[in-house]
Amino acid sequence: MTTKTKITKVAVSSLALASTALAETNLSQVRYGTEKVEDLDIFYREAGDPSKQAVVLLHGFPTSSHMYREVLAELGDEFYLIAPDYPGFGNSSFPSGDDYTYSFDNIAESIDQFLVQRKVTDYVLMIQDYGAPVGYRIALKHPEKVKGFVVMNGNAYEEGLSQEGWGVIFDYWKNKTPELEAQIASHVFTLEGLKWQYTHGTRNPDDILPDNWNLDFMKFERPGQHRVQLDLFYDYQNNLTHYPAWQKFLRDTQPPMLIVWGKNDAFFPASGAEAYKLDVKDIDFNLLDTGHFALEEEAPFITSKMRTFLREKIK
């Protein structure tokens, strides 16, 4: 073999190694896409190698997969993360109420079908706010697929609903009137109302990213959005009837659970986090001095906890 041939083989080998390293690096980066689910375009963010342990990130109200941007950016080097936007939220399709019934049953069905089509069949569920009723419906349908939970202000107990945050909604459940709808809209759907949901209970409100409520407000200004959100507020009462079944599921299956809960949440107070101890034995339990969206102030702590939890508890 000539010296020139040896040099060429070394160069080719180095190029192959560099290409492999580049491919692995690219997989760890956040990527974006849409999946056609029946007539809906479901937008999603993903990071990591799909052959690795999957974590499905289910967002809350009034946000989208945008809330998980730091989780995706931080953990894609070791795990596969996928965060869909629900129908009517974020960058997913926003069909009219005539074409799609906005209920937690339907949203859960759409997201479950999304996961089936994406071939995500073995996963940890990360649930926050609306992510809890969506995630628990999926878990009860496919208990064999769910390997554990990361719970971040994702409620499954009546003691986890505060009068402060839910009072007007409780009234709405009893008496669905235009007057109450106008009251809800004037408090919740305004720019200041949306900002309050991100900043209330935080240690440093001025440090919370304004993009959060500005993006939500832009989406909420689309014609028909207020009707969609009011329908979901009204349907939320049906989640309470499922609480006993969700609690039984937790008692029977005993999934490993990481709780990272903003204890100053006006909607889901710390009592909702404490209630999980009644049913689940294997909990890494963390109450954090922040508000409803704990990731906004505690992303480094939460992602570090998630890395350890996924390494040590998920088989």
Active-site positions read: 292
- For residue 171, CA distances in Å to 65, 175, 180, 196, 238 come to 30, 6, 8, 21, 15
150 beta partners: 126, 258
As given in the structure block, the two tokens for residue 133 are 């009723």
- Which bin fits 88, alpha (ψ -120 to 50), beta or left (φ > 0)? left
- Which bin fits 176, alpha (ψ -120 to 50), beta or left (φ > 0)? beta
Dump the DSSP string for 236-297. Answer: THHHHHHHHHHHHHHHHH---EEEEEETT-SSS-HHHHHHGGGT-SSEEEEEESS-S-THHH
Cα 189 to chain centroid distance, Å, stands at 20
32 beta partners: 45
Closest CA to 162 of 259, 271, 62: 271
